[in-house]
Structure 1
Amino acid sequence: MLEPSANMPWFKGWKVTRKDGNASGITLLEALDCILPTPPTDKPLRLPLQDIYKIGGIGTVPVGRMETGVLKPGMVVTFAPVNVTTEVKSVEIHHEALNDALPGDNVGFNVKNVSVKDVCRDNVAGDSKNDPPMEAAGFTAQVIILNHPGQISAGYAPVLDCHTAHIACKFAELKEKIDRRSGKSFSGYPPLGCFAVLLSFIISLLKLQYILWNKSPIKAPLLFFLKMLFIYS
């Protein structure tokens, strides 16, 4: 199970063929290690933008890593929080055209009638017809404190790193101190639910518990007011 054995001379090993690369081995442990996780293609599209390019003869090309869902040419996507909606003309990976992009792919996609000034890094693209992304007015999160030189209290204002976003935030309320093994998980969009809080170094890791969506057309202020759950080891 864990290492090759002379007690099974008849067993020559296992082999699997797949487009992501062939795999082979002898032990059960090796076989388990080669099982690929199922990509979350059944969830709504979420694609945080890493950069936006203007390419002559093509137009505006946002670039980012697919987190959930599927991106296809012809889809109508919405960028949050700027609330810009447009149609996807083409999808590419390293200048190779794709019929669809899946979670884990680093893609560039050409969009219609959108200027490079209309969207920016840290925006999130989603399917406008299937649970489009919205701006969050605030959220409740579990926080694991890794290292901090002083006392943390309500009103504390660090910098929040969430995927490609880098923005100031504010702790509105510290609800309680709890054991790190307790609390519910954020399962709606797992890849988008983890982020880091920075001072001049990483001071904590966070896991979303509850989101308060901002459905108002008025943009939220730069400082997000957060309710946080602190988790100490």
Structure 2
Amino acid sequence: ERQSRHGRRAPCRCHQSCRRPAGEVGGACPWASSAAPWRRGPAGGSCPQTCQTRALLAYTLGVKQMIVGVNKMDTTEPPFSQTRFEEIQKEVSAYIKKIGYNPATVPFVPISGWNGDNMLEPSTNMPWYKGWSIERKSGKSEGKTLLQALDAMEPPTRPTDKPLRLPLQDVYKIGGIGTVPVGRVETGVLKPGMVVTFAPANLTTEVKSVEMHHEALAEAVPGDNVGFNVKNVSVKELRRGYVCGDSKDTPPKATEEFTAQVIVLNHPGQIANGYTPVLDCHTAHIACKFREIKEKCDRRSGKKLEDNPKFIKSGDAAIIDLVPSKPMCVETFTDFPPLGRFAVRDMRQTVAVGVIKSVKPKEASGGKVTKAAEKAQKKK
């Protein structure tokens, strides 16, 4: 918490756990260790795989601002080595540029988290470091410490005018209260008394209350991580990956199939029709089949290069029809960006990223409307 703003830290110990909080934040700060010897990463260059994966996941999940902290500078040979810092800065800059970031907007800060060098105050151990300087749309910023780099981050805009979309992170059963889904409001507004629909289950009920940090809210807006009590719903009826929306304003629906532009970043072989990796899309983690690779295209311009290619490989971009193996809810990137981008996971790593161009919803069948929802709808 600062005088000008306050923020929430979403820690991740490894890139697997990074997938979960990355979608919740407005900025990322991956650590690049200066201590360990760097080997060639899977996507080229010597930026290590963990650093690559975290930066890639941040970009895929829509994190537009980044700070790179070059940590453990006290353990380099010699300690606080300028050469080592510049080597790492060069390698990481090349990689983040490749995946979509502009290095001119990314502060690189040499730090020692253990000793506190350049964390809160400028370090006397690195007189060669003249500080970072960046230029974003809002103007130029400069400084020497990690804290100053955090202060220079621009607060993200929050789309309150769009229909409600809230992907569930977890669902809890709390004694004396009942079923409490937990998640981050991505778009729209969530209020007590609202009748909501959960997709892909097509379950409709009333929101009894909304809380954040143990305080009741009159409304939750994009960026808020909240828990909300729902009536007449068992904890077994909801699960992580479901999407909550306003039942009266473009409610979310189950997805039958969707078309996406996929960029293959790191796959050791060839990808053909029938390939079935796991997709991480918002909070969902579901295997999806590459039903048809429709065309190969230029990854930057989107221009068509080849119709119906037999396979694609690392470095290629393609338009692909995908089919979820289990009930799933996704949206187009243009309508709901947080629900329209995904990472493709295989062999314990991120092999591709994608954005969803179009969605074919599944015909509604079954579902459930609770008594609380029916009662609330009659009142209105």
TM-score band, normalised by shorter chain: 0.7 to 0.9
Equivalent residue of 2:236, what SS?
coil
CA distance in 1, matches of 2:277, 2:366: 24
What is the letter of the counterpart of residue 179 of structure 2? T
The CA deviation string for residues 56-105 of structure 1, in whole angstroms up to 9 with x for no partner, is: 11111000011100000010000000011110011001101111101111
Which structure shows the higher helix fraction?
2
1:8 match: none
Superposition deviation, residue 183 in structure 1: 3.6
2:350 maps to 1:199: no
Identify the residue that residue 29 of structure 1 maps to in structure 2.
Answer: 140
User: Residue 95 in 1 paired to residue 214 in 2?
Assistant: yes
Query: What whole-Å deviation, never above 9, does each CA across 1:166-189 have from its counterpart, x for those lacking one?
Result: 111100110111111234983111
Structure 2 unaligned segments of length 5 or more: list them. 8-134, 143-151, 304-331, 368-380
The answer to whether the Cα contact below 8 Å between 2:182 and 2:227 also exists between their aligned partners in 1 is yes
Instruction: Name the residue aligned to 1:9.
Output: none
Q: 1:51 aligns with which of 163, 170, 175?
A: 170
Over the matched positions of the two proteins, sequence identity in percent amounts to 65
Q: CA deviation at 1:34?
A: 5.8
Q: Find the counterpart in structure 2 of residue 209 from structure 1.
A: 357
SS at match of 1:117: helix
The letter of the residue matching 2:355 is K
Q: CA deviation at 1:216?
A: 3.8
Q: Give the AA of the match of 1:207.
A: V
What is the letter of the counterpart of residue 87 of structure 1? Answer: E
Higher relative contact order (CA 8 A, sep 6+): 1
Alignment of 1:1-233 (within 5 A): 28-30=139-141, 35-183=154-302, 186-200=333-347, 201-217=349-365
Report the CA distance shift for 1:34/1:157 in structure 2 as closer, same or farther (over 3 A): closer
Checking the alignment, whether the CA contact within 8 Å between 2:202 and 2:364 is kept in structure 1 is no
Change beyond 3 A, Cα 1:34–1:165 = closer
**TM-score between both structures, scaled by the size of structure 1:** 0.79
Residue segments in structure 1 that go unaligned for 5+ positions in a row: 1-16, 22-26, 220-233
TM-score between the two structures when normalised by the length of structure 2 = 0.49
Partners of 1:19 and 1:87 lie apart in 2 by: 34
Larger strand proportion, structure 1 or 2?
1
Shift of 1:218: 6.8
CA RMSD of aligned residues (A): 2.3
Q: How far apart, CA to CA, are the structure 2 residues paired with 1:90 and 1:183?
A: 45
C-alpha separation in 1, matches of 2:346 and 2:362: 27
How far the C-alpha of 1:196 sits from its partner, in A, is: 0.7
CA distance in 2, matches of 1:132, 1:29: 41
Aligned to 1:223: none
For residues 235 and 287 of structure 2, the distance between their equivalents in structure 1, rounded to whole angstroms, comes to 24
1:209 to 1:80, Cα distance in 2 relative to 1, 3 A:
same
Alpha-carbon spacing, 1:111–1:211, altered in 2? closer, same or farther (3 Å): same
Secondary structure at the counterpart of residue 206 of structure 1: strand
Specify the SS of the correspondent of 2:172. Answer: strand
